[in-house]
Structure 1
């Protein structure tokens, strides 16, 4: 259950990064909407990270934070490509792939 909370928390981290990107592109009420979305996503993301690090099957803080951050980073790169038309280059995909492999490795060696 804690891993599921951590994954969902990482997705909300992606949400707050996307919200900031969208807020940069808008003004007025749309900007207020995206900044509100940012605040909500940050709160949910941090709460789920907190919950994943506690309880009977707590994920160690170092592993939890690294995985949470990586999920957010991976999601943000993919969202940047899809939503903000950021470039897809060999080196970006290479390092993104190495990040994915590192997250899988951390999950495998965590008790």
Structure 2
């Protein structure tokens, strides 16, 4: 169950980073509220996951999911670059996330 909390926390991080972009510096109330709500939920899920999972593993996976999701969202929603060196770097992050999961004792 703690891995599910961690996955949800990471996905919520992706939502709040998208919301932050759309909030335009917290100048749009609706997007700002969504950002703050999903931030809070993301931290709460991360905290639940860290009750059992190692801190370093949980935090690295949480930020990794957010980073990869943020890059993908940037490509899809904001027409950011999808050149091969950038995608290769994203694959390296995914490899690190998978490696941490596979080597975790929990």
Is TM-score (shorter-chain normalized) higher than 0.5?
Answer: yes
Using the size of structure 1 for normalisation, the TM-score is 0.91
1:67 and 2:64 are equivalent in the alignment: no
Using the size of structure 2 for normalisation, the TM-score is 0.95
Cα separation, 2, equivalents of 1:37 and 1:63:
27
Alignment partner, residue 2 of structure 2? 2
- Partner SS, residue 34 of structure 2: helix
Equivalences, count: 105
Cα separation, 2, equivalents of 1:103 and 1:66:
7
Unaligned stretches of 5+ in structure 1? none
Cα separation, 1, equivalents of 2:25 and 2:50:
35
CA RMSD of aligned residues (A): 1.4
Superposition deviation, residue 25 in structure 1: 8.4
Structure with greater Cα Rg: 1
Unaligned stretches of 5+ in structure 2? none
Equivalent in 40, 43, 46 of residue 43 of structure 2? 46
Alignment partner, residue 88 of structure 1? 82
**Deviations for 1:16-68, whole angstroms, at most 9, x for unmatched residues?**
100011112895xxx100000110010000000000011xxx11000000000
1:22 and 2:16 are equivalent in the alignment: no
